[in-house]
A and B are shown apart, each in its own frame.
Chain A
Amino acid sequence: MSLELMKEKGIPLDKQKFDWRDIVRMPTSKLDDDALTRVRIILMNGIESEALRFQHACARMNKELQLALARVRRIEQHQQTMINWMLPADLSPLETTIGFEQVAIEVTASVAQHEPDPYLAQVYRFGLLEDFDHMYRFAALMDRVSGRDANNILQSYSDILPGRPTSVEHRAPEDDLRECYDRNKAQPISKLNAVTIMGGEHQTHDYYMTIGPMFADPVARQLYAEIASIEEQHVTQYESIIDPEETWLEKWLMHEAAEIYNYYSCLQYETNSRVKSIWERFVDYELGHLHYVLAVFRKFDKRDPDEIIPESLPEPIEYKSHREYVRKVLAAEVNLRARGKQIIRKEEETPDSPSVLYRQQMNSNGSPSEIVAAGYKWKPGTELAQETPDIKKLQKKVA
């Protein structure tokens, strides 16, 4: 049974307390925990990061909301810390990157399948194939520079294959904007999806911008520079699908609802009991935030929040391998491009279009994503490994 947002009050703000030992717990295990636990941790860090980002922007534009925002934001800050600190110290920046791309693939795949608006679903599929390619490029980097197998992180849930080549993902800004949903007509799930994917992509951009300079290898540094640029385009794309006519308070409510939706989704699938208890606690915390913001909303927006907040949550995000779906999308849509707000076929892109010219300029001195993955095919145990009898047997069995 799904959660009823207006009935469930959660934990009130003044009862939401932390201390440093509570916030900083023993992390998860890179080796033993399920890859999808890591996916959930990374996504929820992004969702909380988005909560802070939005609330700061809102505070800068709305003096009367500043105190309420500061109160909620302090708690979001500590929620984000507790979640992000569940990642272990032996998870290297490149391994974490593989985790980030797995989030972008599996979560976006789930969202695209549940999105009722066909145009928005197309936009998610468009972005999905680009992040799918990033995974392949980073896996090649990991294999070829550090001699490690990306599948130790992915645990076979996600494919390591080329998607829409990163080198052709570079677009002129005018080709990154999309049509937005209509705040009065869109279904609640469309609004929740948009906040979720935008938050995930924004933290990916910020993470790559932070860790890119930590690599010594020049191609690694270039690859992070290149893919961070695409993540910036993705943020541009996903924020543009959200109706800018929504009021600040309406947006704040949707952010809180999206947080509940995401924690609730994580809770349905979590296998690590220590992490599960965090999702459980934060569903209650977020319900507390929602009801706090509802009171603020009623005071300032003078509208009935029932028009905005769904009565109950939609079907949770599915944390599983979406391999079959992703391969289907890959086969059908890898050659798509964008022109203005429309997704077009590759053949429709003219040689003098702004994106083609921009792409030519950016790649004029070589393409890091092409260099790193030149001739690359992932193999179990890296491309240096020989095919052992157990792997041959496994392949025969699948065939």
Chain B
Amino acid sequence: MESRKVEQVEVDVKFGAKLSFNRTGIMTNPELSAELIQGAKETIPSSKGDATQIAAHRAEYMNDVLPIGSPPVVMENGEEAPEGSLPDHLGGPLLLDKLGERLAFERQGTRLYEAFLKKIEALALVDGSGPSVEDLQHICEQELEHFTLLQKIITGMGADATVQTPSADIAGVLSHGILQIVTDPRTTIAQTLQAMLNAELADNDGWEMLQGLAAELGQKDLEEQCQRAFEEEQEHLKKVRGWLLSMTLDEATAMEADEEVVEDDGGEANDKMEQPSKGRNKRRKKSAKSSGPSKGRKKRKK
């Protein structure tokens, strides 16, 4: 126990007596790390081979050929509708599967933007290069419109819009991380935007693919509906990308400013470095209303 105390003191001194700092790197505890590395180098594995064996075993399970789930079918009174209920030229189950995917994505997208919007409201940022409440409200409404549009399209085909299709399920698993980041009260606006960028990229490609599929199947009306939704999603992507870029650049500028303060006054700077993100939040709260990327850059130039 005594020796551990001594080590702790050394670490604290080395990192400027800070209580909170990132401990994940190998250099955090150099002496312990040296022992760890030495031990690992001397390891004799209990079995021969390399990482490819994991993939080989995974492949072996694939022989069981069990899918995630079946594509949706048109049901009538709890039974599969007779052949021809959903015209073959609609691409049938494949089209329903992909429509179900977009529906699930847009519905979750609505909840994601609702959560994002509340985060912006809670932080009460009066300015900055990030999105405003109104910006997010607008996108959120469009996500909801897309969801209800898809409900109408699917039910219009005689299918059940409440079905969780295999592609919808896959999209749900994929977006789990996005949901975790957006609903985590600890994440910053920039981190949330990073998550939303992933969502918008997937959503854009999803609509583009759906539009292409509709065109391929000769579904003119559907193609046009997808085209309109795709255009709106392109706008979302452009905005999210812009906000993220601006906020990242703002962050870099703020860090530069922090460094300048460090040079001016070492003691005060140490205090600020303990909670860097809080410092920047304060600064952003002071500044004016906002929102687009260009405005953010202008401010930096000043």
Using CB atoms and an 8 Å cutoff, list the residues of chain A in contact with chain B: 25-26, 29-32, 88-90, 92, 144-149, 151-152, 215-218, 220, 380-382, 384-386, 388-390
Q: Complex Cα distance A223/B115, Å?
A: 17
* Distance to closest chain A CB from B58 (angstroms): 12
Chain A to chain B contacts (Cβ below 8 Å), 9 pairs = A90-B173, A145-B179, A146-B111, A147-B109, A147-B111, A147-B112, A152-B163, A216-B184, A385-B107
Question: Of B14-22, B25-33, B164-172, B259-267, which binds chain A?
Answer: B164-172
Report whether B68 and A147 are in contact in the complex, using a CB–CB cutoff of 8 Å: no
Report whether B68 and A384 are in contact in the complex, using a CB–CB cutoff of 8 Å: no
Report whether A388 and B151 are in contact in the complex, using a CB–CB cutoff of 8 Å: yes
Report whether A146 and B179 are in contact in the complex, using a CB–CB cutoff of 8 Å: yes
Report whether A30 and B169 are in contact in the complex, using a CB–CB cutoff of 8 Å: yes
Cβ-neighbour of B107 out of A29, A90, A384 (below 8 A): A384
B277 at interface (Cβ–Cβ under 8 A)? no
B230 at interface (Cβ–Cβ under 8 A)? no
Chain A residues with CB under 8 Å of B275's CB are none
Report whether A148 and B66 are in contact in the complex, using a CB–CB cutoff of 8 Å: no
Report whether B164 and A218 are in contact in the complex, using a CB–CB cutoff of 8 Å: no
Chain A residues with CB under 8 Å of B64's CB are 25-26
Chain B residues with CB under 8 Å of A151's CB are 162
B82 at interface (Cβ–Cβ under 8 A)? no
* Distance to closest chain B CB from A120 (angstroms): 37
Chain A residues with CB under 8 Å of B183's CB are 145, 215-217, 220
Q: Complex Cα distance A90/B170, Å?
A: 8
Contacts A145-B179, A151-B162, A384-B110 aside, 9 further interface pairs with beta carbons under 8 A come to A26-B64, A29-B68, A29-B69, A145-B183, A216-B184, A217-B115, A217-B183, A218-B185, A382-B107
Residues A32 and B70 in contact in the complex (CB < 8 Å), given A145-B111, A389-B155: yes
Main secondary structure of the interface of B (DSSP, over half): helix
Q: Complex Cα distance A343/B241, Å?
A: 59
* Distance to closest chain A CB from B222 (angstroms): 17
Chain B residues with CB under 8 Å of A149's CB are 162, 164
Chain B residues with CB under 8 Å of A382's CB are 107
Q: Complex Cα distance A382/B64, Å?
A: 34
Q: Complex Cα distance A30/B161, Å?
A: 18
B108 at interface (Cβ–Cβ under 8 A)? yes
* Distance to closest chain A CB from B4 (angstroms): 27
B180 at interface (Cβ–Cβ under 8 A)? yes
* Distance to closest chain A CB from B189 (angstroms): 15
Chain A residues with CB under 8 Å of B176's CB are 92
* Distance to closest chain B CB from A5 (angstroms): 35
* Distance to closest chain A CB from B94 (angstroms): 16
* Distance to closest chain A CB from B147 (angstroms): 6
* Distance to closest chain A CB from B182 (angstroms): 8
Chain A residues with CB under 8 Å of B163's CB are 152
Report whether A380 and B162 are in contact in the complex, using a CB–CB cutoff of 8 Å: yes
Report whether A381 and B69 are in contact in the complex, using a CB–CB cutoff of 8 Å: no
Report whether A148 and B162 are in contact in the complex, using a CB–CB cutoff of 8 Å: no
Chain B residues with CB under 8 Å of A145's CB are 111, 115, 179, 183
B181 at interface (Cβ–Cβ under 8 A)? yes
Report whether A29 and B172 are in contact in the complex, using a CB–CB cutoff of 8 Å: no
Residues A381 and B161 in contact in the complex (CB < 8 Å), given A386-B148, A388-B155: yes
Chain A residues with CB under 8 Å of B173's CB are 89-90, 92
B127 at interface (Cβ–Cβ under 8 A)? no
Report whether A31 and B164 are in contact in the complex, using a CB–CB cutoff of 8 Å: yes
Residues A148 and B151 in contact in the complex (CB < 8 Å), given A381-B161, A385-B161: no
Report whether A384 and B185 are in contact in the complex, using a CB–CB cutoff of 8 Å: no
Chain B residues with CB under 8 Å of A388's CB are 151-152, 155, 161
Q: Complex Cα distance A373/B181, Å?
A: 22
Chain B residues with CB under 8 Å of A217's CB are 115, 183-184
Q: Which chain B residues numbered 105 to 162 have a C-beta less than 8 Å away from chain A?
A: 107-112, 115, 144, 147-148, 151-152, 155, 160-162
Residues A31 and B148 in contact in the complex (CB < 8 Å), given A90-B173, A147-B110, A148-B172: no
* Distance to closest chain A CB from B175 (angstroms): 9
Q: Complex Cα distance A134/B149, Å?
A: 32
Q: Complex Cα distance A274/B160, Å?
A: 28
Report whether B172 and A384 are in contact in the complex, using a CB–CB cutoff of 8 Å: no
* Distance to closest chain A CB from B246 (angstroms): 25
Q: What are the 9 tightest A-B residue pairs by CB atom distance, in nearest-first order? A: A31-B69, A216-B184, A147-B108, A217-B183, A147-B111, A388-B155, A152-B164, A26-B64, A147-B107
